[in-house]
Structure formats: C-alpha cells, structure tokens
Amino acid sequence: MLWDDRILADFQRGRIDLFYDRVYPPLLLYALRQLGTQHGLLAEDCVQDAVFQAWSRRDRFAGIGALKSFLYNTIRNSAINLHRKDSARERYFSYTGKHSAEDHILVADLEAQALIFNAIRELPDRLREIVELSFVEGLKNREIAERLGISLSSVNKFKAESLQILRRKIGSLSVILLCVGAFPPPPQV
C-alpha cells in the first residue's frame, strides 16, 4: 500500500529517500492535475514546498492520514495561490498592453525542452539511441529490440538505466513529461 504507517515512521526518522521514492510521484501527478501540465515546473515546486513544510513539522503528525492530508492540502493551496497570481498577472498584462504571460510560459517550455534534449545528447551512445527510439520515434520496446538486434530484456535494462541518469540530471518531472510525450521532438538541424 502506498500510504502506510511505515512511510510516516521512515519520514519521522529522517529517511526522506524512501519517502520520495514512494510518495513523490503521486503528489506530483496531483499537482499537475491542479495546475495543468503546461505548468510542470511550478507543480514540482509546489510538491517540493509541501514536502519541505511537512519535513519541518514531521514530529507533529499523529498518523499517516494527517501527513497525507497535510501534503495534499498544502499542494492544493499552493496551486490556488498560483492561479490567483496568474489571473492577476493576466489582468495586468491586458490592462497595460504589454507581453502576455503565455510569452513567458513559451520561453520556459523551450528552456525545459532544451534541458531535456541536451541531457539526452549527453547519454552514452547505446542509451541515447534507445531513448530516442522510444520517446522521440515512439517505438515499442519489442520494436527497438528487433531494430537493434538485442534482447527485449536488454532494451528494458538500458531504458531503465537511461531514465535513472536523466532523473538525476534533470529531475523527475521532466522525465515524466518526456515519457508522456508532453514535449515534441527537437527540431532537426
């Protein structure tokens, strides 16, 4: 079970790594639902802030339900505040006639894409090839194995290793967005 008392016990003992492995992905997905996938970096910030606030109060949680409720409510409240700020910013831009907030989001998306594709280019040749075939060309693992003349288990192993390296370099959110196809492939030069 995802949310159990062991999570709280580990969290209170300072085992943040186990907490992140099990709880961070669903919290991030919740934040993405609250903010929208176009605000992925903000969603990651909301989760990080919620975890930090919970960490500073970790001895005060009586049970896992209290911790879970605190984290989800903190993320929801952060998302509401961000929506309010975004609405105020939009009103300001429309009133002044200056650049819209979408211009800033477009720049952030382009920067995130560049970060992801630069990290992919830095992968060792075989790992980079498998990531490109999988996420850029959209091939299934079996198709990759056939194309490269390697076993399916090798493709799975190389793909897992690639994603682990990318997570370390660019963070979990960017890897999630890459996997779900939120970014188009980079322009061919």
Question: Nearest to residue 49, comparing CAs of 64, 33, 70?
Answer: 70
Between residues 151 and 106, the one the model is more confident about: 151
State pLDDT tens for residues 111-168: 666 677 778 888 999 998 998 888 777 788 889 999 999 998 899 899 889 888 888 8
Query: 115 with 174: CB under 8 angstroms?
Result: yes
* Cα–Cα separations (whole angstroms), residue 10 to 4, 13, 14, 53, 54: 10, 5, 6, 16, 13
Query: 159 with 134: CB under 8 angstroms?
Result: yes
**Is 73's pLDDT higher than 90?**
yes
- Mean model confidence pLDDT for the chain: 77
DSSP 89-111: HHHHHHHHT---HHHHHHHHHHH
Q: Say what the pLDDT of residue 150 is.
A: 93
Query: 16 with 56: CB under 8 angstroms?
Result: no
Name the one residue in this structure whose structure tokens are 């919620």.
Answer: 50
- For residue 107, give both structure tokens: 């720049």
pTM (2 d.p.): 0.48
Determine how many CB atoms are found less than 10 A away from the CB of residue 97.
Answer: 7
In this structure, what is the dihedral angle of CA atoms 73, 85, 43, 136, given to the nearest 10 degrees?
150
**On the CB side of 188, how many CA atoms lie within 13 Å of its CA?**
2
Name the one residue in this structure whose structure tokens are 């062991």.
Answer: 6
Query: 25 with 180: CB under 8 angstroms?
Result: no
Q: Say what the pLDDT of residue 180 is.
A: 47
**pLDDT, mean of residues 56-84:** 87
